[in-house]
Structure 1
């Protein structure tokens, strides 16, 4: 058993382990592994923190985006209602303007008709007075003719005007 290679490999391994223990290699290896584990844990904690911050930023972005969309929809709705209100006001003003212009035109037409009727009546009265004056002056002579003529002209003018 003393000359077997496996025995010498086992003895060499044990001696190597004793030397490593004496030199503190195990403590350094454990410390290095602990240090690496701490570093990995810190990186995982940092990654978790960054993920939480990213989730918070994403939620904030979504909230702001939704708020902006609501605000845009409100602005569009207000603009539409304002445009409808302005269109309604413009239509009402236009209808009022047309009604006033129509009323003014109708009153001018009525005034012109009344003036034309008055002018026709005045012309007819003047023609009737002239005709009566001519007829009476030819048929009646003297002072009686002048009195009758003046009285007739006055009556005709009163009745026709």
Structure 2
């Protein structure tokens, strides 16, 4: 009695050897395919790493630029505050100078006005004196005309002539 199972051994059939050939082909081809896929994945991984490194470098540069910009902004604000402070000090100094100049101008004008007033007073006093002298002269002339006439003049002349010898005696 022969066992049917022994006659049907798998290696005896052609489909078994086709299967073995396919498995061997798959193993050999699979190694190459896996190698190619692995190298592609490794290349892609390297590209991603390079991109991440570049992104990290760009981020570091951007942060450095941001710090520089913030420092420049802080310096600009500090400079602006200094410029504003100096402008305010300059404005205060100019205001004080203009106030002093205005005060000096006012004093000079006041002095000039006082000099003009003094000159006008002196002129007025001189005019009043001249008028007083003219009036006194006119009054004296009028008084002399009224007080002394031709007869009174002759009497005064006679009296003066008679008093000359006595005046000469007193003088010697």
| TM-score normalised per structure 2 | 0.66
Aligned length: 137
Distance 1:92 1:82 in 2: 15
Counterpart among 148, 153, 159 of residue 142 in structure 1: 153
Given the alignment of the two structures, is residue 131 of structure 1 paired with residue 142 of structure 2, yes or no?
no
What is the Cα-based RMSD across aligned positions, in Å? 3.0
1:58-73 equivalence runs, <5 A? 58-73=66-81
Counterpart-to-counterpart distance in 1, 2:126 and 2:93: 48
Aligned pair partner of 1:24 in 29, 32, 44: 32
User: 1: distance between equivalents of 2:29 and 2:139?
Assistant: 159
What are structure 2's unaligned runs of at least 5 residues? 1-9, 11-18, 158-172
Structure 1 gaps, min length 5: 3-10, 147-161
For 1:145 and 1:105, locate their aligned partners in 2 and report how far apart those are by CA, in whole Å.
Answer: 56
Give the TM-score normalised by the residue count of structure 1.
Answer: 0.70
Tell me which residue corresponds to 1:43.
51
Structure 2 CA distance for aligned equivalents of residues 142 and 74 of structure 1: 99
Q: Secondary structure at the match of 1:24?
A: helix
Pick closer, same or farther for the CA change 1:144–1:46 going to 2, 3 Å.
farther
Query: Which residue pairs with 2:6 in the alignment?
Result: none
Q: Aligned-pair distance for 1:31?
A: 1.9
Name the larger-Rg structure. Answer: 2
In structure 2, distance between residues paired with 1:23 and 1:102: 115
After superposing on structure 2, the runs of 4+ consecutive aligned residues of structure 1 that deviate more than 3 Å are 15-18, 20-23, 143-146
Of structures 1 and 2, the one scoring higher in RCO (CA 8 A, sep 6+) is 1
